[in-house]
Structure 1
Amino acid sequence: MLGPVELTGPDGTTALAGGPRDLLCVLALRAGETVSRALLREAGREPSTLDRDAAVLSSALARCGLRGSLEVRPAGYRLVTRQIDVRRFQSAVRRAQACRRGGDLAGAVRLYDRALVLWRGPEPLAEARVSGWAGAEVRRLRESRTVALEDRWDCALRLARAAVRASGAPVADREAVAAGIAAAADAIDAIPVLEEAVEAHPLRERRWELLLVATFLSGRRREALAVFERARQTFLDQLGVEPGERLRALAGAAERGDLAEADPDQVRPATMTPVRAAHLATLPVPLTSLLGRDALLDALAGWLRDRRLVTLVGPGGAGKTRLAIAAARQVRGPVPWFVELSSVESPVRVAGAVAEALGLRQETSGDAVDAIVDEIGHQDLLLVLDNCEHLLAGCAELVARLLRRCSRLRILATSRAALRVPDELVVPVPPLLPEAAARLFLERAQARSGRPVAEGSAGAVAQLCAELDGLPLAIELAAARTPLLSVPEIVARLRSDLRLLHSPDPTVPDRHRTVSATVESSLRQLDPATQAYFDRLAVFAGFDASAAEAARQAMAAEAPGTDALATLVGASLVERTGDRYRMLVPIRRHALDRLARDGGETAARRVHAAHYLAVAESADSQLRGSGQELGLARLRADAANLRAAMAWLAESGAAAVPHGDLRLSTALAMACRIGGQYREALGWLSAALVRHPDAPAPLRAAAGADAAMLAMLLCDYATAADYAEEARSAYRATGNRRAEARVVMTLGSVARERAQYAISAAHLDAATATCVECGDELGEARAVLLRGFTAWLAGDLERAESRLRACRRWFERLDDPEQAATALMNLGAVALYRGDIDRAGSLLDAALERYAALGFPEGLGWAHNLRGLVELRIGRIDRAEAHLALSLATHREVGDRWRTASVLEALAEVHRTGDPRRAARLLGAAARIRAEIGAPVPACERADLAVTTAGVRAALGGAFDALYAEARTLPLDEALVPRALV
């Protein structure tokens, strides 16, 4: 990854380009972690191609000896390998840094060389397309290489300096100097390399320092001074400032001729006005380590070099102060100067507080800003202003005046809101990622209790960190409870007792004693109407602007202004990501507590449920016609809100929204079918039908029709037929023939899966005729598609192809992407069973891409199943197994046992020659499923299954029957099948 991306193994490099290569890059950046689809999307990976890219990548990894290293989990993808050059580079650099700190400079040089030789170019992940957090990781790697190069040269030059001193030769004696340098290291060769480095990064002061030292040690004192003059002119031309203190000190030592004898880290120019020694120690000394902020800390180092005002912004408890201290400590050059403002009560006192922190004695008539400017002058200094949120006006005024008058001053501020000063760089401090949050909890818990967290608590720790949304303050407060409570006990109590998160440390500031106190300190800066609005928004599990406006307008006369949401975002009480908003979980939990105490929760829940019922019904009309992608995107973005609305309507909201849960479950049924949430949706519908026997007949009929569809997909054919017949009778009674035809299609699908092909065809032909009579073109197209599906499963390939070709064009014109993809998939199946393998592969790849774009698991499972059969036909066993493993995982996740059985039988063919015992068990497991659901082997699959069974039986002899029978009696065990990708 350190250069052009390559995947290498025992047999050399494996070609990998495009999507699979980029997916490898993103997963390798977080090797060992599960990377969610959302994070992959943020990193620039298209959801529509993920599964296909994963299958290709899995096969490539297997060919390189890394079989099983790519795992697909419900939560995302995971690359399990340490054989990554980035890991080797980082390990070598850490060891080199340790040698450097321990004084072993020669060892450090060797280790730096070992790390740097891994780079095959200056740009990591060259040619890969990544963005978002992955792009930040690439920038961090680039910066790590830069720092490693500089550290390597620094070590070599220190060795050279030591050699010069040991030789006792005068600087003018070039031969002796050169001999000393050659004996110590190859530092003399650094000069041309450093010249190129300075040209590439002319404002990176450390490179000028290294070039000056190398030039001096080569015996060229005059040229060394010329290096300083070049650096000085560059900084004046491009920044309007002089070079920093260290470079000036090195130039002074070179001019005096004692640079080789002196330690450059200690020399200071005699003309420099020193800042008081006390100010060098103003940074607080943290008692604990900073975790999970490496990338942000590296980025801050660059920003503080290039920008004069950087403001760290985030909610209370995000770790802004801790991060600012760490950033100030690592900045090279400027003297750090820390001012804590939380105890300052008025904006007009800000300048005075800063002057007092500096130790200035302010005259009554004097201006504190003038005194600060006189003290700082044009010195290279970093001012850290901590906790500015309650003093924004005063801080903004002071910062603007100081930056105008102190040319070398840089300011790092922490605040819950931006200062809004010109040229301010606002840097959000996000919650910790799950792995870092868990490490923080484990470290703090051990420090509090004196013992490690009990083994086996990893799941509970992950759950706890998710409950706390990665907020460092909340995590530390939870860790403080570990001396008395186990992690599962903390999780259980956390949801019902906000007082649990309370610091026992009497030295902690009041605002950090509890998460609630932190939130309240932010709310005190807002007017009462905006505070009430904040409480109302807490019932939303993330929301868009329309939901926020619905909540605001429902407050009627008490509603705040239209800018209230922006105010909450500015105060770091609400986060904005794109066009969505959310509260961190601990903040939201406090807001819900405020809402319950004020008695406003029922009203807020009513507004919430009514809004999302309207959203669901609007989206459902799109899903049942054209515009599927827009409808799905809206519902998926608000999945948590829709579930919350469903739960509230089912338990408490019947009086507030009549038949609301039945309406909402019906409106969500089609989206749940596409999304693969069959069990959940059927549970909602069946419970709501029981609760509302008196609901209007059309509503009950629509709910029953959807329940029939979902029960059929779950292979509960008897229940599906019962729901369908009841809905069919209701529609017939009301004369709704179009809806009746839809139910008949479900009956046709039930018969198809039971291998009752003639009955299925009769139902579907009847539904087609009804749709034609009603002028329902989309319904007609869907019925014809299902008829083609039945035909190829029955082995009637001619009839299937004629119908499916027509359907493909039909659905493209009707703008129904799901059914158009299904037509492609079915045509791929026809081509497969006709022996046209190339055409089958192309059609199925196109279907996979469309299904992935829609996020349609059932379609993806089917297409991977058929794609695996294509690979089996041409003998590519590894690729076949990868596709079939993906198919199996998908079908088991959604609950489609009919297809699960078929995929197990195909996997038995994969293992027929290599592992016949496993193949026998797979066949037995498939037979058990078919017996349980009452669905025989599809006609088109019977010949292949017979060949597989005969081959396995021949390989095992008498052992076959025992293994087959054993698998039919035992539960379907995960050990029988790959967990994910093989």
Structure 2
Amino acid sequence: MTDGLRVRQGQVRLLGPVELAGQGGPVPLATGARRLLAVLGLRGGEIVGWAQLSEAGIDPVTLDRDAAALAGGLARAGLRGALQTRASGMRVAGRYVDALRYQDELRRARSRRAAGDLSAAVAHYDRALARWRSEVPLDGVTLAGWAATEAKRLRDSRTRAREERWDCLLRRAADAIRASGAPVADRAAVLAGIQATAAAEVAAAELEAGVARHPLRERRWELLLTATLLSHGRAAARSVFQRAVRTFADQLGVEPGERLRALAAAAERGDIAELPEAPRPEPRAPRRVALPVPLTSLLGREALLDDIGARLAAHRLVTLVGPGGAGKTRLAIAAARAEDGPVAWFVDLSVVERPGLVPSTVAETLGLREDPGLDPLDAIAEEIGTHDVLLVLDNCEHLVTGCGEMARELLARCPGLRILATSRAPLRAEDESVVPVPPLPLPATAAGLTLADLATHAATRLFLERAQARSGRPVPEGSADAVAQLCAELDGLPLAIELAAARTPLLSVSEIVARIRTDQRLLHSPDPTTPPRHRTVAAAVESSLEQLTPDVQRFFDRLAVFAGSFDAAAADAVRAGTGADPTALDQVVNASLVEANAGRYRLLMPIRRHALARLHAEVPAARTAHAAHYLRVAESADADLRGHAQEAGLSRLRADAANLRAAMAWLAEARPTAVPYGDLRLATALAMFCRVEGHYREARGWLAAALARHPRAPALLRGAAAADAAMLAMLLCDYPAAAEYAGTARAAYRALGDRRAEARVEMILGSVARERAQYEASAAHLDKAAAIYVECGDELGEARAVQLRGFTAWLAGDFDRAELRLRACRRWFERLGDAEAAASALMNLGAVALYRGDTDRATSLLDAALERYAALGFPEGVGWAHNLRGLVELRTGRADRAEEHLALSLATHRKVGDRWRTASVLEALAEVHRRDDPTRAAELLADAGRIREEIGAPVPACERPDTEATAAALRAALADRSPLPVRALIPPV
């Protein structure tokens, strides 16, 4: 007992009345704080999640108050900081909890007992049991759920510990008799003065009291019979057995078990050779439970099987975790079959309703005799003994607490046991190794594939095999792309793929693809023998949702509004109003309803569709919360893109591109009043991002439509939107529209007195004039912009205006002025940390070197610019750099290399919609093909001419001599060949 022991440091006492003790004695705690201490102490050192706290009986309404009271009590007990709060839950340091110290001491006792060091084992048992202050742990505190089960397990542990201690004492007494070599009849002479007699007598007295408390616990009768034989002889032992027979007959109507009867027979003979253990038959291997035989092959899991085998070699508890339908059961069976040596047991827990029934279900599956006096865990542990056994526990997700507790107990008692579990959530047991089971791999593309290509990818191969098995015929070759698209729509989830394959007798693959997007009922198993949870994807999802509270289920439904992946902050935004607590995201991840990867989260597409079907009336609120969050993200990142932190802004927006488009669509369609002018604000916030990414048409369309929808929006917002629309129209070479938008923006900014914004409009007008070869007008606009930036003290704005001035200068052929400005800008941008502008400075300096004839320097500068643009993912810059590199190769006579660069440039400029640069690249390609294919060269030059006429942009001054030389050479070459007038084929430049 510990009551009389001096407390040298604070203690959390659970082995009796719940108590917090300090050096000065017990520290008073209110009822709620004591209950919280008890619950956290049971899992000392582990995080106890918010849902687990509620399940254990902790009132969430008073939790904050109780936690504060407990923290104060711990501080008064000298344990300041022992209570810790995390995002996922709370914990109390385990080293202060008497129950955990008791369990550590108990493990040492059992280890010494197994090694045969009985004296050391007894000493450890004594120290362990001395920590108990009464027979009832956690006395005075009302617990529920897993905590109540844990408290009962703790009480049962004390009962077994006392029995094991008695067993050690009796073994020592029996060893003394065996050492004497005398018959039991002469025991008095043999044991006279030997301590064993006294030990046996004490044990017999204690066991009499123990049997009175637990009259149907056979192990106590066995120990009492042994102690009585050693201390009082055969007649007394016979009497003990007769009492046991009457007790079992009166209370159960059965005879005592085989072990007690065998022990009584040995005592009657006076044979103590096997005492105190009852005589047993030869050791036998535990009975086998046949593993299920899969009806289909396992595809695409070879590496995962190897990983599971390696985990089982290093860990005694391995849990396969993944969403419903990922193939965890099939994988566990394959892994168990691959194990050499151990007995393999398979237990399906899908129909078990309560965690407390897990041990009895396992015992029943193993065919162990039900004994009311024997805990099922004891029966399982006895059956396993020291044998090598692999226990496969299938479908643990709704029984996590019960499975985790059973695993901890059995692994501590059975050294040869390993457990392989399948679950949608980890068991949270000590030394558990969790193996995520992901969807099957998919082809990288869904176009231009053959059936042979599909057979090399697990997801598509699974569909092909299952579809042929269902329909009796192979999938047509022409459906290869549709199969890849279907498996991508199903995110590689094996259950969904198999359910889709079951539709092939009636529907083509393309029809299945079209229908699953709107009708989840299509994915339904036609096999009535399929377990209910696997008959539909919806059933698999619902079986996971059943383990969550209604508030968390509502939060899960709202996650359906996300397109692609999202972060925790976004999830938090849609959680508002659901009633779910901050751990809701962790809960749905632990339930394998949401995938987590490097701080990002996503729902597999079949799971997302089911969540969306559940969302119903919540759609407007969820989508509005989603859109409002991404509007905040876009506006914050836009400030980075327009300032010094471009890479950070780009990274954030690229990760959420799909969600930003979804938000844009909702704001434009619904125009929720909770987000005023949301579509106009978001289109403006995304304009610079779309410029960097090359999405000119999309962004301009958003802005034009939003400006038309909001003619009375605040002047500042309309001015910003018009300025961005001007920038995008200029990039798309719609110069009249760009000038009109810019004029609108400039007027708005002048009225508002926003000089910095006015300078930006001047830069856009300068760019419009530059592309139309109005170089003096361009210079005037850009010089004005630079002056305004100086006036505003905006160094970055000034640097950008000066760089554009240098750009205009080299296009006009003024290379000296261009280089002077661009060299200064390069140093400026490197110091300011503007990565894109620094790359542009390199590219412009490369162009100056090119037109001055310094091709070596041009190559070096342009390659450096190209590398930086590629790293930024900036297509406009990549296309420009390839354009200029192609011209360098042309100057050095390497037409083949020039064509490679120019072809890449042409593809980029056509993709983003930059017709001005498209025309210049076509003119350069005309020079590439002038000698080998003059007809094609002439057509290229004519195409360029038509583009320039349509957009109103002549050939830039620096390019004009080369283009005119190409045109003249082609006219001469084609003068005698072309059936068309040469002038019509090659317009003057």
Work out the CA distance in 1 between the residues paired with 2:484 and 2:713: 43
Q: CA deviation at 1:760?
A: 1.9
2:432 corresponds to 1:412:
no
Aligned ranges 1:146-161 → 2 under 5 Å: none
Tell me what 1:496 maps to.
518
Aligned ranges 1:892-903 → 2 under 5 Å: 892-903=910-921
Tell me what 1:866 maps to.
884
Q: CA deviation at 1:821?
A: 1.6
Q: CA deviation at 1:948?
A: 5.0
TM-score after normalising by structure 1: 0.66
2:563 corresponds to 1:543:
no
SS for the counterpart of 1:711 is: helix
Work out the CA distance in 2 between the residues paired with 1:913 and 1:290: 60
Indicate which of 538, 557, 580 corresponds to 2:600.
580
CA contact (8 A) 1:924 1:964 kept: no
Work out the CA distance in 2 between the residues paired with 1:843 and 1:327: 57
Tell me what 2:471 maps to.
449
Kindly tell me: are residues 742 and 911 of structure 1, through their superposed partners in 2, closer, same or farther at Cα, counting changes over 3 Å?
same
Aligned ranges 1:710-721 → 2 under 5 Å: 710-721=728-739
Kindly tell me: are residues 907 and 414 of structure 1, through their superposed partners in 2, closer, same or farther at Cα, counting changes over 3 Å?
farther
Work out the CA distance in 1 between the residues paired with 2:656 and 2:530: 38
Q: CA deviation at 1:909?
A: 4.4
CA contact (8 A) 1:917 1:963 kept: no
Aligned ranges 1:850-889 → 2 under 5 Å: 850-875=868-893, 879-889=897-907
Work out the CA distance in 2 between the residues paired with 1:967 and 1:466: 48
- 1:326 maps to a residue whose letter is A
Tell me what 2:509 maps to.
487
Q: Deviation digits for residues 835-856 of structure 1, max 9, x if unmatched?
A: 2233222322322232233221
CA contact (8 A) 2:631 2:678 kept: yes
SS for the counterpart of 2:420 is: strand
Q: CA deviation at 1:289?
A: 2.5
Kindly tell me: are residues 957 and 446 of structure 1, through their superposed partners in 2, closer, same or farther at Cα, counting changes over 3 Å?
farther
Kindly tell me: are residues 953 and 333 of structure 1, through their superposed partners in 2, closer, same or farther at Cα, counting changes over 3 Å?
farther
* Pair member with larger Rg: 2
Kindly tell me: are residues 770 and 501 of structure 1, through their superposed partners in 2, closer, same or farther at Cα, counting changes over 3 Å?
same
- 2:833 maps to a residue whose letter is D
SS for the counterpart of 2:959 is: helix
SS for the counterpart of 2:518 is: coil
- 2:484 maps to a residue whose letter is A
Q: CA deviation at 1:690?
A: 0.9
2:855 corresponds to 1:830:
no
Indicate which of 300, 316, 338 corresponds to 2:324.
316
Indicate which of 625, 629, 632 corresponds to 1:614.
632
2:354 corresponds to 1:346:
yes
SS for the counterpart of 1:844 is: helix
Kindly tell me: are residues 711 and 543 of structure 1, through their superposed partners in 2, closer, same or farther at Cα, counting changes over 3 Å?
same
Work out the CA distance in 1 between the residues paired with 2:915 and 2:703: 21
Work out the CA distance in 2 between the residues paired with 1:759 and 1:871: 33
Kindly tell me: are residues 367 and 868 of structure 1, through their superposed partners in 2, closer, same or farther at Cα, counting changes over 3 Å?
farther
Tell me what 1:470 maps to.
492
- 1:791 maps to a residue whose letter is A
Indicate which of 655, 658, 665 corresponds to 1:647.
665
Q: CA deviation at 1:659?
A: 1.3
Indicate which of 767, 777, 801 corresponds to 1:783.
801
Indicate which of 796, 807, 813 corresponds to 2:814.
796
Kindly tell me: are residues 293 and 869 of structure 1, through their superposed partners in 2, closer, same or farther at Cα, counting changes over 3 Å?
farther
Kindly tell me: are residues 326 and 884 of structure 1, through their superposed partners in 2, closer, same or farther at Cα, counting changes over 3 Å?
farther
Q: Which has the higher contact order (CA 8 A, sep 6+)?
A: 1
CA contact (8 A) 2:971 2:986 kept: no
Q: CA deviation at 1:910?
A: 4.5
Larger displacement relative to structure 2 (451-460 or 426-435): 451-460
Kindly tell me: are residues 449 and 960 of structure 1, through their superposed partners in 2, closer, same or farther at Cα, counting changes over 3 Å?
farther
- List alignment gaps of at least 5 residues for structure 1: 1-270, 970-982
Q: CA deviation at 1:942?
A: 3.1
Work out the CA distance in 2 between the residues paired with 1:721 and 1:361: 90
Work out the CA distance in 1 between the residues paired with 2:313 and 2:972: 73
Aligned ranges 1:96-175 → 2 under 5 Å: none
Work out the CA distance in 2 between the residues paired with 1:875 and 1:447: 61
Tell me what 2:462 maps to.
440
Work out the CA distance in 2 between the residues paired with 1:546 and 1:417: 23
Larger displacement relative to structure 2 (854-863 or 960-969): 960-969
Q: Deviation digits for residues 615-634 of structure 1, max 9, x if unmatched?
A: 21122222222211222211
2:829 corresponds to 1:811:
yes
Work out the CA distance in 1 between the residues paired with 2:765 and 2:780: 10
Work out the CA distance in 2 between the residues paired with 1:963 and 1:547: 64
Q: Deviation digits for residues 308-363 of structure 1, max 9, x if unmatched?
A: 32211111111111222233333444454322221222222222333333343443
Work out the CA distance in 2 between the residues paired with 1:716 and 1:453: 49
Q: Deviation digits for residues 40-99 of structure 1, max 9, x if unmatched?
A: xxxxxxxxxxxxxxxxxxxxxxxxxxxxxxxxxxxxxxxxxxxxxxxxxxxxxxxxxxxx
The CA RMSD measured in Å over matched residues stands at: 2.8
- 2:634 maps to a residue whose letter is A
Tell me what 2:482 maps to.
460
Q: Deviation digits for residues 618-669 of structure 1, max 9, x if unmatched?
A: 2222222221122221122221221111111111124332211111111111
Indicate which of 399, 402, 419 corresponds to 1:394.
402
2:402 corresponds to 1:384:
no
Q: CA deviation at 1:415?
A: 0.6
Q: CA deviation at 1:378?
A: 4.1
SS for the counterpart of 2:666 is: helix
Tell me what 1:197 maps to.
none
Tell me what 2:587 maps to.
567
Work out the CA distance in 1 between the residues paired with 2:927 and 2:830: 36
Q: CA deviation at 1:919?
A: 4.5
Kindly tell me: are residues 958 and 459 of structure 1, through their superposed partners in 2, closer, same or farther at Cα, counting changes over 3 Å?
farther
Work out the CA distance in 2 between the residues paired with 1:962 and 1:298: 71
- 1:581 maps to a residue whose letter is Y
CA contact (8 A) 2:810 2:818 kept: yes
Tell me what 2:411 maps to.
403
2:317 corresponds to 1:286:
no
Work out the CA distance in 1 between the residues paired with 2:394 and 2:307: 19
Tell me what 1:592 maps to.
612
Work out the CA distance in 2 between the residues paired with 1:470 and 1:621: 38
Kindly tell me: are residues 872 and 408 of structure 1, through their superposed partners in 2, closer, same or farther at Cα, counting changes over 3 Å?
farther
Work out the CA distance in 1 between the residues paired with 2:984 and 2:554: 63
Kindly tell me: are residues 811 and 407 of structure 1, through their superposed partners in 2, closer, same or farther at Cα, counting changes over 3 Å?
same
Q: Deviation digits for residues 406-452 of structure 1, max 9, x if unmatched?
A: 33433221110011122221111112222332332233223222233
Work out the CA distance in 2 between the residues paired with 1:609 and 1:302: 45
Number of residue pairs matched by the alignment = 691
Tell me what 2:309 maps to.
301
Work out the CA distance in 2 between the residues paired with 1:469 and 1:415: 20
Tell me what 1:663 maps to.
681
Work out the CA distance in 1 between the residues paired with 2:909 and 2:504: 41
Work out the CA distance in 2 between the residues paired with 1:536 and 1:923: 55
CA contact (8 A) 1:341 1:386 kept: yes
Work out the CA distance in 2 between the residues paired with 1:690 and 1:708: 15
Work out the CA distance in 2 between the residues paired with 1:945 and 1:323: 66
Larger displacement relative to structure 2 (295-304 or 421-430): 295-304
Q: CA deviation at 1:966?
A: 11
- 2:523 maps to a residue whose letter is L
Q: CA deviation at 1:924?
A: 4.2
Work out the CA distance in 2 between the residues paired with 1:444 and 1:564: 37
Work out the CA distance in 1 between the residues paired with 2:344 and 2:666: 53
Work out the CA distance in 1 between the residues paired with 2:475 and 2:983: 45
Q: CA deviation at 1:398?
A: 2.4
- Aligned-pair identity (%): 73
Aligned ranges 1:718-797 → 2 under 5 Å: 718-797=736-815
2:534 corresponds to 1:512:
yes
- 1:366 maps to a residue whose letter is L
Kindly tell me: are residues 524 and 866 of structure 1, through their superposed partners in 2, closer, same or farther at Cα, counting changes over 3 Å?
same
Work out the CA distance in 2 between the residues paired with 1:951 and 1:404: 90
